[in-house]
Amino acid sequence: MLTLTKDLNKARFVTHAGNFHADDVFSTVFLEKLYGNITLIRLKEYIDDGTKLAYDIGLGEFDHHQKDYNKKRKNGIHYSSFGLLWSAYGLKYLNQIKVSDPEETFKIIDYLLVNQIDAIDNGEFNLKSKYNIYTLSDIIELFRPKNNEDEDACFKNAVKYASKIFDLIIENAITKLESINIIKNKIPEIKDKILILDKYIPYEFAIFYLNLDINFVIYPSNRGGYAVHTIPTFYKGFKPKIPFNKKWAGLRDKELQKISGIKTAIFCHNNLFLCITSTLDDALKSIKLSIK
């Protein structure tokens, strides 16, 4: 549980007052998860003397604002306070909640959550779009005080919201790791850059995380038959590396069977990234004909 105090002597944790960001909010969430109960003071100025855990303020171990700060990942993204705390205590927390593979889960959560918050907080994130997109950091900033609202109450509301998001991302990372391990075991069976799954699993993240050279995935469809899915050119992209035959776009059943020559063809998506057939042989045939 988070307790905010105005008394420095009662506080065990310190962060900055004023406008809050995803960086200090998620740092607070993480420390609350790690320690259970935390008493926090938010100050305009503070110099870290080692008696309290200070983050995003104080020029200490978990502050990224000091002169000549240059601690960054291999991908070039500098750490914010959240990234520094996650690097120091993330494995401890994952062991504490008894995840099956703490080291790999640590990396996945860093990829899914911590990287983006660090990048945005350090001004290293760039999104060019013709329309507004709310990032996670933007959403946290929506909790900031308006019309003379109490700043600490707004901060606590942001922490409460972010706490649920943090839990969901932990669960998501664990699920993704399960898919990664299943696909790792399938690697020896991959032929002609085609991955065949025994059942549907969330596969896309695993393929890019493992850096596999795959163009298509086949799995039993929950509507019957087999789904053949293209792989996009980048994670969460829409443009397939190899699309299905453009003449099949949007066609179904007999019309698709006639033009494709695939006897059990059921459907081809208008954007050419998904094809459904009744048999595995025809699923493979749909790939062969599209490559040709």
For every residue of 198-218, DSSP letters joined together read: SS----HHHHHHTT---SEEE
Q: What is the pTM of this model?
A: 0.89
First to last CA, the chain: 60
Same domain for 259 and 157, yes or no, is no
Task: State residue 126's pLDDT score.
Answer: 77
User: What integer pLDDT is reported at residue 132 of this predicted model?
Assistant: 85
C-alpha gyration radius of the chain: 24
Residue where one domain finishes, among candidates 149, 180, 211? 180
Same domain, 97 and 134: yes
Which stretch, 6-10, 64-68, 124-128, has highest mean pLDDT? 6-10
Are residues 172 and 195 part of one domain?
no
Sheet holding 216-220, edge to edge: 194-196, 216-220, 226-230, 274-277, 265-268
Q: Is the pLDDT of residue 63 over 80?
A: yes
DSSP 168-186: HHHHHHHHHHHHHHHHHHH
The answer to whether residue 185 sits within a structural domain is no
Residues 175 and 131 in one domain: yes
Contact 111, 11 (CB under 8 A): no
Judgement on whether residues 37 and 125 belong to the same structural domain of the protein: yes
274 and 230 in a single domain? The answer is: yes
| Judgement on whether residues 141 and 20 belong to the same structural domain of the protein | yes
- 187-200 mean pLDDT: 97
Compute the residue count for the chain.
292
Indicate if 221 and 146 belong to the same structural domain: no
Is residue 197 located within the same domain as residue 173?
no
198 and 107 part of one domain: no
- Tell me which of 157, 180, 203 is where a domain ends: 180
Question: Cα separation of 154 and 16, whole Å?
Answer: 14
Adjacent-strand bridge partners of 140: none
Section 80-91 average pLDDT: 98
Same domain, 141 and 64: yes
The answer to the question of residue 85 being in a domain is yes
Q: Which amino acid is at 120?
A: I
**Residue 292 pLDDT:** 77
pLDDT of residue 130: 84
How many independent structural domains does the chain possess?
2
Q: Which of 180, 201, 222 represents a domain boundary (last residue)?
A: 180
pLDDT digits (tens, 9 = 90+) for 123-153: 998 777 788 889 999 999 999 999 889 999 9
Tell me, what's the pLDDT at 258? 97
Query: Is residue 21 domain-resident?
Result: yes
Q: Is the pLDDT of residue 226 over 90?
A: yes
Token duo for residue 198: 């025994």
Q: Residue 247 sits in which domain range?
A: 190-291
